[in-house]
Amino acid sequence: MKNPSLVILAAGMGSRYGGLKQIDTVGNNGESIIDFSIYDAIQAGFKKVYLIIRKEHEEAFKKALVDQVRRFVDVEFIFQDMKELPQGFSAPEGREKPWGTTHALWICRHQVKEPFMICNADDYYGKDAFKKMFDFLNHEVKDDLYSMVGYRLSKTLSDSGTVSRGVCDVSDEILIDVNEYAKIKKVDGVISSGSDENGWKALNQDAFVSMNFWGFTPKIFDLAEKQLTSFLQRELLNNPLKCEHVIPTMIGETIKSNTFTIKVLASESEWFGVTYLEDKPYVVSRFLEFKNQNMYPFDLWENK
């Protein structure tokens, strides 16, 4: 089996954040979250990284990240082009928003030929997650057996606003179902989903959620194309400029087909990210604590 690789989703627009948050500085030596993720991945054993970005951001990523890490790991860009769609479809005039993470996954089909994990650029997952996924991809993954690192819902909220989460139904470490909730926050101390207009529904705070940390083989690209095609047939006329399809929805729509199984690798680690600009001070403080605890060196890329 080929050595597994790391694929990082970094082509989002950061509309709620107000900028290119994927490479925004959060470490006291100029690091972004993605620096820490790649560092953890290298320590876990990964030797190749694919960065899914927009073509116009290539130079920014080279300067802020890639020029430093290429001494330690093989890095390859994958450009998410909104105009690249399954046969029979074309991007509507005026479309600027990416099509979502299912599309980003499908875009990888020409370059990624080995087992791989895929995760977000702007989320911190913890060292344990990369170790567990690397071991799975080396010893267990098959074309009909994939994996997901699951985090407790209570550990994935933001104090700055609502979040979207794929809430999972898990039995004996196997993913049974995943349901996407668009707006989740604490309401009177209870983790809930809904709106002020339509009311809030309490959720299980200990439920596992998908934070877009998946392990696949290239066989997944066939499924991504099928799901992307169905999605475009349904939504392109209704919401041509903003409709999107995400990996948790892709898995949720097909998990009951019995064509594959998703093993849930539980993580009790703290997850955090920068969904909103207001989240940044907390993220900065956590990385400073990590360095003070010697979890990371002051300069990640000087003498790794």
Domains (range + CATH), the chain: 5-292 (3.90.550.10)
Work out the pLDDT band at 22, boundaries 50, 70, 90: confident
Q: Which pLDDT score, from 0 to 100, does residue 304 have?
A: 54
Give this prediction's pTM.
0.92
**How far is Cα 211 from Cα 120, in angstroms, rounded to an integer?**
8
Per-residue model confidence (pLDDT) at position 14: 55
- Could you identify the residue written with the tokens 């991007």? 91
User: Given the structure tokens 């999972």, which residue do they identify?
Assistant: 168
pLDDT band of residue 20 (cuts 50, 70, 90) is confident
Compute the distance between CA of residue 82 and CA of residue 119 in angstroms, rounded to an integer.
Answer: 20
Would you place residue 123 in the very low, low, confident or very high pLDDT band (cuts 50, 70, 90)? very high
Give the burial class of 69: count Cβ atoms within 10 A of its Cβ; 0-12 exposed, 13-18 middle, 19 or more buried: buried
Q: Which of 151, 170, 149, 163 is nearest to 192 (CA)?
A: 163
* Number of helical (H) and strand (E) elements in the chain, helices listed first: 8, 13
Question: Closest Cα partner for 212 from 174, 247, 184, 179?
Answer: 247
Q: Which position has the token pair 């290539």?
A: 58
Percent of residues, the chain, with pLDDT higher than 90: 77
Rounded to an integer, the average pLDDT of 127-139 is 97
Structure tokens at 171: 């039995």
Question: What per-residue confidence (pLDDT) applies to 301?
Answer: 94
Stretch among 8-12, 49-53, 97-101, 270-274 having the lowest mean pLDDT:
270-274
Q: What percent of the chain has pLDDT over 70?
A: 97
pLDDT tens by residue, 102-112: 999 999 999 99
Report the alpha-carbon distance of residue 229 to residue 99 in Å, rounded. 12
Q: Mean pLDDT throughout 56-63?
A: 93
Supply the pLDDT for residue 191: 95
β partners of residue 20: none
- Give the pLDDT confidence of 269-301 residue by residue, as tens digits: 778 988 778 889 999 999 999 999 999 999 999
Cα R_g (the chain), whole angstroms: 19
